[in-house]
Amino acid sequence: MKKNAFVAVPAVLTEIIVETPTIKTFVLKPAEPIPFRAGQFVQLEVPGLGEAPFTPSSSPFETDRMEITILKTGLVTNKLHELEPGVTLGIRGPFGKGYPIKKLADQTVLVIGGGVGLAPLRSLLYHIEGEPDCCGSVSIKYGSRNPDELCFRRMHEGWSGRQGWDFTPTIDRFAPGWEGHVGLVTTLLDDLDLDLENTYAVSCGPEVMLRFVTWKLLDVGFEPDRIYLSMNRNMSCGMGICGRCNVGPYYLCKDGPDMCYADIKDIPYALG
């Protein structure tokens, strides 16, 4: 029998990892395996309160557990941040298309994250780690407001040390003790030493960041069809029915959330 996509699979919250003062990773064990592709999203339900969309930050090769990394921002996310392990939540999905993995063969992948936007991208990085031949080299540029808000700090060294990978973090404004780059994540895109004709850029972060990242990428010579953006707008049903996430002819929940800039560039206000 076909699964009812409106019914959530129960999932026990087994662990909570504090990433930053405002971001936690929730480790969930669903009652049945939930296969997903990197970049697809799920609706996470807090029983009795509501649900919200999140893209798993864990490896798509693990289907019997799922990690979701969440910034505290409002009704559902505040409640999630108050929870303790042991409670049962619900997961609907996965929805959307996920990252264009097939296009990445032999290509350099330029990963650009801002704040909690590194969470969906981490599942892409896990995919590449698990299937190294799916692409060429990987260059990660990651920006956060301040050093305390850098997400997944425990993984940064491993990413920079991997053969064919580089990882550069930046913070918005100088902070005592910080010896790395200072400036918005777009400033890391000024001197890219990449063959742009063989590079795909994938970016996730706040809408304003996506806009400026896109302009910068175009400025330095990227073609629109080599830029992918996670358009994490408000979405509800996840199946292109409710119409909450329309952008021109697209439903971001069904056709995205990762959209190729070439497909949306002529749609008024597509980037907010």
Ligand X SMILES: Cc1cc2nc3c(=O)[nH]c(=O)nc-3n(C[C@H](O)[C@H](O)[C@H](O)COP(=O)(O)OP(=O)(O)OC[C@H]3O[C@@H](n4cnc5c(N)ncnc54)[C@H](O)[C@@H]3O)c2cc1C
Give residues in contact with ligand X (CB under 6 A).
Answer: 41, 52-55, 69-71, 73-77, 116, 119-120, 232-235, 257
Q: Across-strand partners of 112?
A: 141, 203
Residue nearest to ligand X (CB): 74
234/148 Cα distance (integer angstroms): 27
Task: List strand residue ranges (DSSP E) for 152-265, in order.
Answer: 165-171, 181-182, 199-204, 227-230, 246-247, 250-251, 258-260
User: 76 or 110: whose CB is closer to ligand X?
Assistant: 76
132's tokens: 């190294």
User: 192 or 259: whose CB is closer to ligand X?
Assistant: 259
132/43 Cα distance (integer angstroms): 29
**Least gap, CB of 207 to ligand X (angstroms):** 7
User: 145 or 181: whose CB is closer to ligand X?
Assistant: 145
169's tokens: 């973090």
**Least gap, CB of 233 to ligand X (angstroms):** 6
Q: Which residues contact 207 (CB under 8 A, 6 or more apart)?
A: 271, 272
Query: Exposed (0-12), middle (13-18) or buried (19+): which is 106, by Cβ within 10 Å?
Result: exposed
Determine how many CB atoms are found less than 10 A away from the CB of residue 22.
Answer: 18
Residue with tokens 């913070």: 171
User: 22 or 199: whose CB is closer to ligand X?
Assistant: 22
User: 108 or 232: whose CB is closer to ligand X?
Assistant: 232
The strand pair at 199-204 and 227-230 is best described as parallel
User: 138 or 259: whose CB is closer to ligand X?
Assistant: 259
User: 147 or 206: whose CB is closer to ligand X?
Assistant: 206
**Least gap, CB of 53 to ligand X (angstroms):** 4
**Least gap, CB of 190 to ligand X (angstroms):** 28
192/217 Cα distance (integer angstroms): 10
**Least gap, CB of 258 to ligand X (angstroms):** 9
**Least gap, CB of 150 to ligand X (angstroms):** 15
Residue with tokens 């990963």: 111
Query: Exposed (0-12), middle (13-18) or buried (19+): which is 123, by Cβ within 10 Å?
Result: buried
**Least gap, CB of 205 to ligand X (angstroms):** 11
